[in-house]
Amino acid sequence: MKLSKLQRLFFLVIPSLFVGFGGGILQANAAEKVVIKAGFHQASIPLEDLQNFAETGQVSPALEDILSASKSDSERTRQALTKEVPVNLVWADKALNHPLGEMLLDQISVVIHPPTTTANRAALRSAIVLSAGEDNQVSLLEIIENYPASELHIEGERIVEASEKLGRLSQGVKEAMRKIPDIFR
């Protein structure tokens, strides 16, 4: 299916406008507090503590307790949070609105979710698209930073698993782009 120049422009510009204008609105509501759970243990930490851990490796006392309770290797967890996977913004939006993409969102939302499960799929999709809009790459930390909820819960024992599922999104988008190379030409 060939798209006209106007249609191609529409599909490329609208997501950029969403990220440019809507991203600021959604980020104002982004997670400030992160509750990390591991078994029966949980700790509420400011987002800044998680960002500091991801950037420097310094572990706050509350995060140290959770890492110990989950028996997670702190460096492996840190790598899972910061691992960037290439994701084309336009294709990510399309892929995440496909039934297979929605299944992936559901799998990731088991690990990263708001206190309630209302509209979780839409919120996670939004966080991924906003993250991809910044540089066509996505990391779990970026998703957490862009998630449109004031409080976010993370299943600490499954962070590495979520990072691997995010890598599958990247692979799925690459595969779709390979199979339909001229859709945006």
Is 48 a domain residue? yes
Give a yes or no: residue 32 inside a domain.
Answer: yes
Four-CA torsion 115, 118, 122, 126, nearest 10 degrees: -30
The whole-model pTM stands at 0.75
Q: What pLDDT does 81 receive?
A: 92
Share of the chain above pLDDT 70, in %: 74
Q: Residues of the chain with pLDDT > 90: what percent? A: 24
Residue 99 lies inside a defined structural domain of this protein: yes
- Residue 47 inside a domain? The answer is yes
Determine, yes or no, domain membership for 185: no
For 35, residues 6+ apart whose C-beta sits below 8 A from its C-beta are: 42, 43, 44, 45, 115, 151, 152, 153, 154
pLDDT of residue 107: 85
Per-residue model confidence (pLDDT) at position 142: 94
Please give the tally of structural domains in the chain: 1
Mind listing the pLDDT tens digit for each residue in 113-155?
A: 988 766 688 999 999 999 998 899 999 999 999 999 889 999 8
Q: What is the pLDDT of residues 49-95, one digit of tens each?
A: 999 999 999 998 888 888 888 887 889 889 999 999 888 888 778 88
Structural domain that includes position 19: 5-179
